[in-house]
C-alpha cells in the first residue's frame, strides 16, 4: 500500500519555504559560516549553517524548536489544502534527535520565556504538543528520537499509523537546533565535527560534519487520486555493533538495501546519508557497491547544500526530493563533489523515471530507508 505525500514545508539557512530551497539548489548555493559569527564556542572556526531569521524562533510561550516545527507544519497543512475537519482528525509524528535542548539546557539569546512554561519547555515532546494545540489537531501525537534518522523514521511510523487505520492523514514533522554549546562539545569530543572545512562527503580527505539547524514537514494520507509523490515503503534495521560509526561489516545497511530491491525493484536514484565523517566516507560507498553490484543508480547528496540537520536532516532531504519529484526531476549535486567508484553525481536537474530511495543512519547503528516515486 502506498500513501500520498501532498503538503510540504521547509526551514533552514537556505530559506523559510520549500521554493526557496529549490531555487538555492538550482543556483548551487549553500550558507555556511564560522560558528563564532553566531555564538561563543570552543570551536569558533567550525563551519555551520543556521536559520537566519532568529525572531522566527523566539517566542515567550513556545521553545525555539516548537516555533520551527510550527512554521513548517503550517506550510505543509496549507499546501495540502486540508480542511479544519481533516486537520483535526490527523495524527502527528515528530522526529528529533535533540528535542528542546536549545532554549532549555542551553539559553536562547533574547528569549524571555514565561516561568509558567518551564516544565513544558523542557519536554522532548513539547514541539508535538505545540502542533496539536496551535493547529487544532486532536489525533494522537508521538515523538520519534532515533538520532540522525529520526525524521525519516517519523515518516515510516506515520505510514504505520495509516496502515493500522488509526487515522486517514498524518502530519510528519522533524526539527533540530543543534547549535548549542554542550551538543557541539559532545560532537567535538566524538571527533565528528569538520576538521578541515572540506564539504565533500566522499572525498578521501573529508573531515567531518557541518552541523546545521533544520525543520521540515510533510503531509501523508490515504488517497487514491493520481498525481503527486507517493511513499511506496519504509524499512529499518540496526547494526548492533558500534555506538558511533556506521558498521558495514555488520551487513545490515547492505541487507536493508537488498531487501528494498527485492520489494520495490531497482531505484533510479539514491539520496544517501553522506555525513562527511572519515569513517562514513569509506563505509557508505562500500555498502552501496555491495548492494548494487550491477545497477548504478545516480546519487544525490544534499548535505553539501544543507549541512547536517541531525534528526531533522533526513526529513528535510525527503521534502526536497519530493518537491523535485513533483516536477518529474531529481535535484542537482553541487559542482566538484567526489563520486564513489561506478556511481555518478549529476550536477544538473535530471528527469526521474523511477523510484528514489532516501537512506539515513544514526549514531548507535540504526538504518532507515524510504522509497518515493512520482505518481503519474
β-bridge pairing 169-176 and 214-221: antiparallel
Is the pLDDT at 249 greater than 80? The verdict is no
User: Which residue, 156, 190, 99, 143, is CA-closest to 367?
Assistant: 156
Is the pLDDT at 188 greater than 80? The verdict is yes
> What pairs with residue 83 in β-bridges?
none
Asked if residue 12 lies in contact with residue 306, where contact means CB atoms within 8 angstroms, the answer is yes
Ranking 116-120, 150-154, 213-217 by mean pLDDT, the lowest is 116-120
Domain spans of the chain, in order of start = 3-374
Using CA atoms of 201, 57, 134, 15 in order, give the dihedral in degrees to the nearest 10.
-50
Confidence at 50, pLDDT banded by 50, 70, 90:
very high
Confidence at 165, pLDDT banded by 50, 70, 90:
very high
| Residue range 283-303: mean pLDDT, rounded | 95
Whole-number pLDDT of residue 247? 65
Per-residue three-class SS string for the chain: CCEEEEEEEEEECCECCHHHHHHHHHHCCCCCEEHHHCCCCCCCCCEEECCCCHHHHCCCCCCHHHHHHHHHHHHHHHHHCCCHHHHHCCEEEEECCCCCCECCCECCCCCCCCHHHHHHHCCCCHHHHHHHHHHCCCCCEEEECCHHHHHHHHHHHHHHHHHCCCCCEEEEEEEECCCCHHHHHHHHHHCCECCCCCCCCCCCCCCCECEECEEEEEEEECCCCCCCEEEEEEEEEECCCCCCCCCHHHCHHHHHHHHHHHHHCCCCEEECCCCCCHHHHHHHHHHHHHHCCCCCCEECCCHHHHCECHHHHHHHHHHHHHHHHHCCEECCCCCCCCCCCCCCCCCCCEECCCCEEEEEEECCCEEEEEEEEECC
User: Which residue, 341, 337, 339, 321, is CA-closest to 329?
Assistant: 321
Using CA atoms of 164, 322, 50, 15 in order, give the dihedral in degrees to the nearest 10.
-130
Please give the mean pLDDT across all residues of the chain: 94
Q: Which is more confidently placed, 140 or 376?
A: 140
CATH homologous superfamily, domain 3-374: Thiolase/Chalcone synthase (3.40.47.10)
Over pLDDT 90: what percentage of the chain?
83
Query: pTM of the full predicted structure?
Result: 0.97
Whole-number pLDDT of residue 296? 92
Asked if residue 140 lies in contact with residue 128, where contact means CB atoms within 8 angstroms, the answer is no
Is the pLDDT at 246 greater than 70? The verdict is no
| Residue range 57-77: mean pLDDT, rounded | 96
Amino acid at each position: 500500500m502506498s500513501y500520498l505525500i501532498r503538503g510540504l514545508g521547509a526551514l533552514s539557512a537556505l530559506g523559510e519555504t520549500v521554493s526557496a530551497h529549490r531555487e538555492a539548489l538550482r543556483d548551487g548555493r549553500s550558507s555556511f559560516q564560522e560558528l563564532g559569527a553566531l555564538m561563543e564556542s570552543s570551536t569558533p572556526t567550525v563551519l555551520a549553517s543556521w536559520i537566519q531569521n532568529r525572531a522566527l524562533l523566539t517566542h515567550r510561550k513556545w521553545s525555539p524548536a516548537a516555533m520551527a516545527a510550527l512554521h513548517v507544519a503550517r506550510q505543509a497543512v496549507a499546501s495540502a489544502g486540508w480542511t479544519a475537519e481533516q486537520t483535526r482528525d490527523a495524527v502527528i509524528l515528530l522526529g528529533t534527535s535533540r528535542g528542546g535542548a536549545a532554549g532549555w539546557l542551553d539559553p536562547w539569546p533574547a528569549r524571555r520565556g514565561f516561568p509558567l512554561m518551564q516544565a513544558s519547555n523542557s519536554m522532548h515532546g513539547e514541539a508535538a504538543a505545540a502542533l496539536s494545540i496551535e493547529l487544532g489537531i486532536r489525533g494522537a501525537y508521538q515523538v520519534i528520537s532515533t538520532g540522525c534518522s529520526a525524521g525519516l523514521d517519523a515518516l515510516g511510523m506515520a505510514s504505520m499509523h495509516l496502515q493500522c487505520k488509526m487515522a486517514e492523514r498524518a502530519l510528519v514533522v522533524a526539527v533540530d537546533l543543534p547549535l548549542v554549546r554542550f551538543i557541539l562539545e559532545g560532537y567535538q569530543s566524538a571527533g565528528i565535527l569538520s576538521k578541515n572545512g572540506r564539504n565533500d562527503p566522499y572525498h578521501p580527505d573529508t573531515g567531518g560534519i557541518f552541523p546545521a539547524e533544520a525543520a521540515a514537514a510533510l503531509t501523508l494520507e490515504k488517497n487514491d487520486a493520481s498525481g503527486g509523490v507517493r511513499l511506496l515503503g519504509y524499512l529499518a534495521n540496526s547494526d548492533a555493533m558500534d555506538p558511533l560509526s556506521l558498521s558495514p561489516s555488520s551487513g545490515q545497511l547492505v541487507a536493508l538495501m537488498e531487501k528494498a530491491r527485492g520489494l520495490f525493484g531497482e531505484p533510479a536514484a539514491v539520496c544517501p546519508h553522506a555525513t562527511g565523517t572519515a569513517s562514513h566516507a569509506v563505509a557508505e560507498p562500500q555498502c552501496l557497491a555491495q548492494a548494487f553490484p550491477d545497477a548504478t543508480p545516480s546519487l544525490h547528496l544534499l548535505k553539501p547544500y544543507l549541512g547536517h540537520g541531525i534528526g531533522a536532516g533526513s526529513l528535510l532531504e525527503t521534502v526536497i526530493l519530493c518537491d523535485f519529484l513533483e516536477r518529474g526531476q531529481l535535484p542537482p549535486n553541487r559542482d566538484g563533489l567526489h563520486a564513489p567508484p561506478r556511481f555518478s553525481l549529476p550536477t544538473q536537474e535530471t528527469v526521474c523515471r523511477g523510484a528514489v530511495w532516501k537512506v539515513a543512519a544514526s549514531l548507535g547503528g540504526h538504518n532507515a530507508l524510504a522509497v518515493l516515486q512520482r505518481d503519474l
